[in-house]
Structures are given as C-alpha cells and as structure tokens.
Structure 1
Amino acid sequence: MKLSVNINKLATLRNSRGGNNPDVVKAAVDAQRFGADGITVHPRPDERHIRYSDVREIKNIITTEFNIEGNSQEQKFVDLVLEVQPHQVTLVPDALGQITSNHGWDTVRHKDYLKEIIAVFQKVGIRVSIFVDPLVEMVEGATETGTDRIELYTEAYAHGFAAGNREAAIAPYVAAAKRATELGLGLNAGHDLDLHNLKYFAQQIPTLDEVSIGHALICDAIYLGFENTIQLYKRQLQ
C-alpha cells in the first residue's frame, strides 16, 4: 500500500500570507525524500491553495508518482492535466467554490460523461481514478466507465471510527473493495484518514493500492515534524 501526500494545506498556508513561504515545490521534494510514495495536489479553479504554476513546477522536479485531483468538468483542469501528464489523475465531482470534496460520482447517472472524459486521459497514457462512495452499485457502475481505479471516499468511515463503531463503519468499504477487486479495478482511498483510523482501514482492506492523505498529515506534522509524520503514516500501512 502506497502513501501519497497531499500538499494542498501547505499551499493554503503560503497563500494566506503571500510570498513563497512555505515553498510547496520544496515541500513536494522533501515529502518524497522523507518517504512518501507519491505527491497529490488538487488545483481548484480559484487557485486558493495549489496554483496551476505549482503543478507544472512540481511535475518537473519530483521523481516519485504524481497524482492530480480535480473536477474534469472544468476545461482548464483538463488542459492542465493533459499538459503536465501526471502518472494518475483522480476525477472528483466538486462544485465550483466547494471547500473540500464531500461526495463521489454517481457512476450510473454519469456513465456516458465519465466514459468519454476518462478516454481522453487514458489516450495519452495517464492512469485514471474516480472518486466514489462505498456503494457496490457505484463500484459496478465505475467498471462501465473504463476507469483504471476508484478512490473510496472515506469520510463516513472516519466519522464512524471516531464514534466507536469501527466494525459498522468499515463494512460498506469492505464490500465495495471486494467488488472492485472482483471486477479488476485498482483501489485507492482518501478523505479524513489519519494516524488513529488508518491502520484498521488498511488491515480490513488488504487490496488497497494507495491512500492519499493531506489535511490530517499536515496537522500532525506541525507537532511531530514533517519527516517523522510521513514515516508514522507509512508505518500504519505495513
């Protein structure tokens, strides 16, 4: 299981003051040096955290896997991904101005659109993952789109785990993951995973390829240090 570190929050901190402190390009290089298996960024149309120029610079300097998340219904995002050509693009159905991603694709209703846009990225050799809720029906719908992977949206799991209901919280994810594996889909996960709930999630879903973690990891890094925190998160996946 691989850990992709989302550095959006470092860009938020930089943008709040102006200038280039912290330097998000250096942060990407350092995260790689500290053991991250990949770097994730999620540029939004208003560039309120990661800027499009950051994405270009990061791609030119890192050697580990690069994952760009975003809303493919924004042509500016599509153009950026095709220009930069990361290893993976993760398609998220965000609304304009949305603070953070809060739901997955309806892969049944949007099958035709997803099939068309996924082919655009795959044509130039970019692996595609689509954000989905932990519903078997959505996983089966994802197969019809031609996507390479799905990313399970894990906020509901995190809330259930925190409330002390970890068995009930993980159950739909286990079912969704099992179906994804049966259908030959790669499996990613992300959103509100942290040092408390990650190990159990990984233990229950051994077919997991990758987790993408940003907010919690950066918050932990303030107290524990960036390098140490990355290693602590990787340890949860072992």
Structure 2
Amino acid sequence: MFSNSALKVELKVESIEVISLMSKWMLDPLLPELLNELGKRGYITARVKPVSTGGYNILSIEPNVVAIKGSTSVLYDLVKRSLSVESSDPGVLVKVFDEVEEILKSLGNDPAKGVLFYELTAKAKLSGSRFTFGKPVKMGDSMGVELLVVPTTFVLANGDPNSTQWLHLDVKPIWSSWSSGKVYYELIFICRDTREKLLGIVSNFNKILNDIIVAINEALRLAS
C-alpha cells in the first residue's frame, strides 16, 4: 500500500533535459577524419594532434565533447570507445546521429561492421505530489528513526541487464523539493536495442515518454 499522500499522486512531464544515443565500437572510429568533415559542415570541433609514437591527442571542447552545433554535442570517450550524440531535441538528435554515421560510412568506417551495440539514455524532469510505499519503517532502538520507502524502478520483464537488449527506468525525487507541495522527480531512461529500434524511440520520444508516465500513474493507482 502507498501512504495516504500517495493516493492523489499523478506524475506529469515538465521537460526533457537531455537525450543521448551512444554507439560502442570494437575499434576506434576514424575520429580525425570525422571531425574534419563535421568542421566543413558548420560544427565547432575539437583539435586533434597526431602523436609521434602513434595515435592522437584530442583537445576536447568540454569533457569528451569533440563537436558542437547549436545545442547538440558529439562526444567520444577514448577509454570506452563510445561515440555519442546528445541533445534535448529528439528530432535534431536523430538528424545529427544519422549525419555522423553517414560520414563514417563514407570514410570506409561502416558502423554496421564496427559497432558492438547501441544504447539510448535520457533524463526528464517530472512533477507531482509526494508519494511513498506503506508505513514508515522503524530502524530499531540503536538509531531511533523511522524511514520512508520511496519508489520507484522499472526494468524489462524477463530481461538481462548484461545483454544488448535492456530497458531500465528510474524515478526518484529531487530532494530539494521534497518538503514542498509540488515535488519534482528525475526520470532516467536507459535502453539498449538495435539501431533502428532506438532511432524509432527517439523519433517518437515525446509520445513514448507520455505513455511511460501513464503506465507509472496506473501502477501507482493499482498499488494504492
């Protein structure tokens, strides 16, 4: 059972703060050539310096950021060999991600052959009333306090978090708003699947996010 304060809870979307689509590569993609081409297309790009002993040094614009256009960033993590596009606009993200992969393919660096898996992550801000599970949990005499159980996490039924197909949703309070009448929540969305499936999710992310909120609200209602 939820606490009485949870019976009126209804979460709603305030904003999409950031969406990131990442490709994990077997080997480093042709980053210097990619950045050179992005620079020709109006992106602000990081400096890439060849190293005499082999490889390159990347002078990132910001940590891991190798190219920027408007509010959209292209990131590369040398350690993880992960190439990502980040934006708060789903439509722009799809366009830039397609552009980056099209450039790499034209350079002979085909993502279909070099990418191990794709992962989509997103962060959204929600709002609603304060909700908790059940009654306060007593910690015993040693501490003399009571704790609230605060939901909630959703994962893919029969899924495996170690696989390349996974879905994970976390909803947690933004604690600075916890004592106010309107509580804000952070939603973290993580999904690994095929390139086509993830691009489809991004293209319809506003609708999918609203569907997620409807499902969460229904779960809260049924649990109450």
Of the two structures, which has the highest relative contact order with CA contacts closer than 8 Å and spacing of 6 or more? 2
Greater strand proportion:
2
CA radius of gyration, larger in: 2
Fold in common (TM above 0.5): no
Please give the TM-score of this superposition, normalised by the length of structure 1: 0.25
Please give the TM-score of this superposition, normalised by the length of structure 2: 0.26
